[in-house]
Structure 1
Amino acid sequence: MANPWRGEVEITLDGVAHRARLTLGALAELEAELDTGAMVDLAARFEAGRFSAADVIAVVVAGLRGGGWTGDRAALLAADVAGGPIGAAQAAAQLLARAFAVPG
């Protein structure tokens, strides 16, 4: 079970639940991959509903890797994500929200 106090979000891939979280290292990788300039800009895009599928994939991969998953973008693209694209987008939004706010 994911611990929101640690910024964790549960993401199920191919029927297996994984803990995901945006650690400092995961955030740095995410910034470099998306070339957003600031994570606040990415979070604002999610908040406004102006995110792309590439944004969702990048955030989910970063979160899964921050949680200890050893896969990569190609592995995520080949996986069955619980909830489909909507579930992935919701998980990405939760990861960003939990990385920058205290739950509650």
Structure 2
Amino acid sequence: MSSHPSVLLLRAGLQFPVGRIHRLLKSRVAANGRVAATAAVYSAAILGYFTTEVLELASNASKDLKELDILIKGTIARGGVIPHIHKSLIIKTSKKD
């Protein structure tokens, strides 16, 4: 046996919490509260896909709008924007023979 507990989102390779989604799905089902375990995995995968698509569309839209671009840069770390590093901050290496 492994030393750490098995977490469904790690086993499925997802970003959203599969266990929490499964618990919430079970609490909202009217008949018997029965939900298959794969339903939570699929739901987490769909949420991850939709989130990625929305963030990608938002970053594409922000590339044209400077004001929105500044907001996205400050809100989402590494949100698809290439960082600008001033030339004076870059370490210069000299070739020694």
| TM class by smaller structure | under 0.3
Q: Which structure has the larger Rg?
A: 2
Q: TM-score, normalised by structure 2?
A: 0.27
Greater relative contact order (CA < 8 Å, ≥ 6 in sequence): 1
Q: TM-score, normalised by structure 1?
A: 0.25
